[in-house]
Amino acid sequence: MIDFERILFNIDIPATIDAAAGTLLVAEPFLKEECFAHSVIYIVDHASDSSSMGVVLNHITRHRLSDLIDGIDSAHDTPVFCGGPVGANRLFFMHTLGDIIPQSQEIGSGMYIGGDFDCMRQYINAGYPTEGKIRFFIGYSGWSARQLEDEIQSNVWAVSGFKSAKRLLKGHGDSYWHRTVRSMDSRFRGWLYHPQNPHAN
């Protein structure tokens, strides 16, 4: 007999992979913090004995790139995402363009961070595609030593890998979170049926 109650309501699922730079954190379905509800975070830097840094991939803001920096042609403008609650005065970008943007740093599995800002601006103004290629963020997400491990053990986050860096830079919002959960281990299928606000049902 299929245990539907366990499938639908169990969020206590042991991690199958460890958190590391280049992996994803997927928010458990009941997480209510505004910055992190239904969020998918790319871990940029992680060490269990020191601080960790990640970027929320799927929370889009009302800002456009031209609102925040000079020299962007509005005809080729691009959205800006909220990377997290820390450093809200900082703008940075992640991309899959590699050496097309000099001085960028590879995090792993085809994902890069930063690089020559003028080259990035030229890329945008030339009208090259940005979806799946480059994404801009205000702020980031941070954890002190051991904090992230504690949150993972408390089932705040599930740790996941991914198959395509380009796919990580496509889409946004709740549909992005649902898409990511569907790509995970079948034990997480029940997460898809949890309402964000159970009291509304």
d(CA 106, CA 110): 7
d(CA 122, CA 26): 33
Q: Write out the residue range of the structural domain in which residue 32 sits.
A: 4-196
CA-based end-to-end distance of the chain = 27
- Cβ atoms within 10 Å, residue 59: 23
Here the CATH number for the domain that contains residue 89 is 3.40.1740.10
d(CA 142, CA 41): 11
Burial 139-150 (b: 16+ CB within 10 A, else e): bbbbbeeeebbe
Asked if the structure places residue 10 within a domain, the reply is yes
- Is residue 160 within 8 A of residue 16, CB to CB? The reply is no
CA 2, distance to chain mean position in Å, is 33
- Is residue 125 within 8 A of residue 200, CB to CB? The reply is no
d(CA 63, CA 81): 8
- Total domains in the chain come to 1
Asked if the structure places residue 131 within a domain, the reply is yes
d(CA 99, CA 121): 15
Q: What's the Rg (C-alpha) of the chain?
A: 18
- Is residue 187 within 8 A of residue 194, CB to CB? The reply is no
d(CA 34, CA 48): 25
> What is the full per-residue pLDDT of the chain (201 aa) written as tens digits?
444 444 445 555 656 688 899 999 999 998 988 899 999 999 999 987 788 999 999 999 999 999 999 999 877 789 999 999 999 899 999 999 999 999 999 998 899 999 999 999 999 999 999 999 999 999 999 999 889 999 999 999 999 999 899 999 999 999 999 999 999 988 888 888 865 554 444
| DSSP three-state, residue 178 | helix
Asked if the structure places residue 201 within a domain, the reply is no
Residue 82, both tokens = 């909220």
Asked if the structure places residue 24 within a domain, the reply is yes
Asked if the structure places residue 63 within a domain, the reply is yes
- Is residue 179 within 8 A of residue 171, CB to CB? The reply is yes
